[in-house]
Amino acid sequence: MRPTSLEAYQSVREKLSPQERAVFREICESDRGMTGDELVVRLEWVPGVISARIRGLVKKGHIIETTERRKTRSGCWATVWGLPSTVEEQGELF
């Protein structure tokens, strides 16, 4: 995990539900962000649970929708979710 990602994770982990924490941790540990489908595979959860946790993390300002898209296992294009790009942005959000 990059230092800024680790700082972001540590600064909010106690404020998150266990499921939000797991999703946030996976996104923090990824150098390229993650799609919902990638999180489904990694955490072995159903898509609806992942989607709800992503929505909550976005509403709280902990993750953002990036401009990147990647193909899912079914071949559809999906949003890549990531951390705000700068430490200054992260400081404002947390």
Instruction: Please check whether residue 36 is in contact with residue 54, taking contact to mean a CB–CB distance below 8 angstroms.
Output: yes
Task: Encode pLDDT of 48-85 as tens digits.
Answer: 999 999 999 999 999 999 999 999 999 999 999 999 86
State the distance between the two ends of the chain, measured CA to CA, in whole angstroms: 18
Q: What angle do CA 68, 70, 73 make, to 5 degrees?
A: 160
Rounded alpha-carbon distances, angstroms, from residue 84 to 13, 48, 49, 64, 72: 16, 24, 22, 6, 23
* Domain assignments of the chain as residue spans, ordered by start: 3-93
Task: Encode pLDDT of 14-45 as tens digits.
Answer: 889 999 999 999 999 998 999 999 999 999 99
Third-level CATH fold of 3-93: Arc Repressor Mutant, subunit A (1.10.10)
Q: What angle do CA 21, 40, 86 make, to 5 degrees?
A: 50
- Per the confidence metrics, is the pTM higher than 0.85? no
